[in-house]
Amino acid sequence: MKTDKNICSLVLLTFLFVATCQGAVSASLLWSQKAEASCTAQTSFQQCVLCDLHPKEVTLHVLNTLIVPYMDESLTLTCTSQIFLLGMMQEAATQDTSFRFSGTYFNLNLGWFVDAYNGTYASSEDQTYWEILDGNMRPTPVGVSYYQPKNGETVTFNLTNYS
């Protein structure tokens, strides 16, 4: 009697497991078909799946009107799953070498600080720094490690004088 009961629950469990598995497989198939539609050559499959759930388009604008060679270049990430600006900068640098940057790590509270974009360094000698402006052209309240750009936002890195 006891064994029968055990077999019964085993069969039931197996059935539930298979049913759940099939559900998961068809859901993920649906998911991947949906994801394919928004995939581009530059976005990984995983990114596209995430992007379908939380689509985010963010533009990075690098502006340097102070030091030769000048720069005024924008790059739009059409499908980013990144939360923080730093991750988006890393994606942009992967897509376009002109968006490569250098930085200094301060600490857990401040995170990374941008020193250079495309080889142009800010310096205390020139009294310059790379200012980060949000979608309303206001300085971001936090640095690249913690700033969370919104969908549709353009973030500008402007080489600026301080005085």
Ligand X SMILES: *[C@@H]1O[C@H](CO)[C@@H](O)[C@H](O)[C@H]1NC(C)=O
Provide the binding-site residues for ligand X, judged by CB under 6 A.
Answer: 65-66, 71, 73, 98, 118-119, 137, 158, 160-161
Q: How many Å apart are CA 35 and CA 46, to the nearest integer?
A: 9
CB of 51 to ligand X, least distance (A): 26
End-to-end distance of the chain based on CA atoms, in angstroms? Answer: 88
Pull the structure tokens for residue 144: 């690249």
Phi, psi of 58 (to 5 degrees): -130, 135
CB of 163 to ligand X, least distance (A): 9
Nearer to ligand X, 35 or 89 (CB): 89
Q: How many Å apart are CA 53 and CA 46, to the nearest integer?
A: 11
Q: How many Å apart are CA 76 and CA 55, to the nearest integer?
A: 13
Nearer to ligand X, 145 or 160 (CB): 160
CB of 101 to ligand X, least distance (A): 11
Nearer to ligand X, 44 or 76 (CB): 76
CB of 59 to ligand X, least distance (A): 14
Nearer to ligand X, 80 or 120 (CB): 120
Q: How many Å apart are CA 61 and CA 93, to the nearest integer?
A: 12
